[in-house]
């Protein structure tokens, strides 16, 4: 009896404990090559992209991905989409299109049925012009342990490494490329208990202040 009890106790202690959503990696690039390959993945990883450019149309969501939002503004355009990995790498194809800059965040442990915990506030279709600050919208989650992501982009401006943001978030993407002529930023953090999150404002200093977009999303744990 003692031996059986010990074996049962051992089995109980060996049951893996769910760790929630974890950050895997980030990656950046430009659409000039008409496709981007994201490496270092595991099947089931959640790949989130934030794309921005200074003019033209909103960056197109690849046919393999699911669009979160797209904004075709007066002077600045941005899009966000996601895709779940099915192997160790993923290639997203854009086709011939004006150049735009992209930033990727990869997370593990995101719910594959309902990856977005709640609806988001989409950036306005008309640009906020001549700004040096913009505040991500508040978001109210319904599930404990969500991964929160704040995203911001600005046109015609290289402010890479020159962005002040909510210090409770970890910077995952902070990227500028002259081809897309836009800076894209994403930060992330775990929200232990569900509720309302109101991130503080982005701000930056530059000599040429232009249009910016921002949003906040929450990823639901598996």
Residue 1 domain-assigned? no
Check whether 4 has a pLDDT greater than 80.
no
In this structure, the number of other CB atoms found within 10 A of the CB of residue 54 comes to 21
pLDDT digits (tens, 9 = 90+) for 21-53: 999 999 999 998 899 999 999 999 999 999 999
Q: Could you tell me which of 44, 191, 172 has the C-alpha nearest to residue 117? A: 191
Provide the mean pLDDT of the chain: 88
Distances (CA, A) of 212 to 22, 134, 162: 29, 7, 15
Tell me the C-alpha distance between 83 and 130, whole Å.
Answer: 33
pLDDT of residue 207: 58
Residue 128 domain-assigned? yes
pLDDT of residue 19: 63
Q: Could you tell me which of 99, 106, 111, 8 has the C-alpha nearest to residue 51? A: 99
Q: Which token pair is 5?
A: 């009890």
pTM above 0.75? yes
**Distant-in-sequence, close-in-space partners of 51: CB < 8 Å, separation ≥ 6:** 31, 59, 78, 79, 80, 81, 100, 101, 102, 103, 184
pLDDT of residue 206: 66
Residue 6 domain-assigned? no
Residue 93 domain-assigned? yes
Tell me the C-alpha distance between 188 and 190, whole Å.
Answer: 7
Tell me the C-alpha distance between 222 and 114, whole Å.
Answer: 9
pLDDT digits (tens, 9 = 90+) for 64-105: 999 999 998 767 889 999 999 999 999 999 988 778 999 999
Domain tally, the chain: 1
Which domain range does residue 97 map to? 20-219
Name the residue with higher pLDDT: 202 or 2.
Answer: 202
Residue 214 domain-assigned? yes
pLDDT of residue 55: 76
Give Cα 112 distance to the centre of its chain: 16
Residue 120 domain-assigned? yes
pLDDT of residue 128: 60
Name the residue with higher pLDDT: 208 or 72.
Answer: 72
Q: What share of the chain is helix, strand, coil (3-state, %, to 5)?
A: 5, 45, 50
pLDDT digits (tens, 9 = 90+) for 150-192: 999 988 888 999 999 999 999 999 999 998 889 999 999 999 9
pLDDT digits (tens, 9 = 90+) for 114-141: 999 999 999 876 566 677 889 999 999 9
Q: Could you tell me which of 202, 188, 20, 164 has the C-alpha nearest to residue 105? A: 188
Q: How confident is the model at residue 10 (pLDDT cuts 50, 70, 90)?
A: very low
Is 216:147 a contact under the CB 8 Å cutoff? no
Residue 181 domain-assigned? yes
């Amino acid at each position: 009896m003692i031996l059986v009890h010990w074996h049962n106790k051992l089995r109980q202690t060996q049951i893996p404990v769910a760790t929630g959503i974890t950050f895997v990696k980030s990656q950046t690039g430009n659409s000039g090559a008409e496709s981007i390959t994201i490496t270092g993945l595991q099947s089931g990883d959640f790949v989130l992209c934030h794309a921005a450019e200074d003019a033209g149309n909103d960056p197109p969501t690849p046919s393999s991905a699911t669009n979160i939002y797209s904004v075709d503004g007066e002077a600045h355009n941005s899009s966000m989409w996601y895709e779940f990995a099915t192997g160790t790498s993923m290639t997203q194809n854009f086709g011939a299109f004006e150049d735009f800059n992209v930033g990727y965040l990869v997370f593990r442990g995101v719910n594959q049925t309902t990856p977005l915990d709640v609806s988001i506030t989409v950036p306005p279709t008309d640009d906020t012009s001549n700004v040096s600050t913009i505040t991500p919208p508040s978001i109210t989650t319904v599930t404990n342990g969500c991964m929160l992501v704040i995203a911001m982009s600005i046109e015609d401006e290289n402010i890479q490494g020159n962005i002040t943001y909510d210090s409770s978030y970890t910077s995952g993407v902070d990227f500028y490329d002259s081809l897309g002529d836009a800076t894209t930023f994403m930060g992330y953090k775990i929200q232990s208990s569900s509720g309302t999150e109101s991130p503080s404002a982005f701000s930056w200093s530059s000599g040429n202040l232009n249009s910016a977009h921002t949003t906040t999303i929450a990823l639901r744990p598996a």
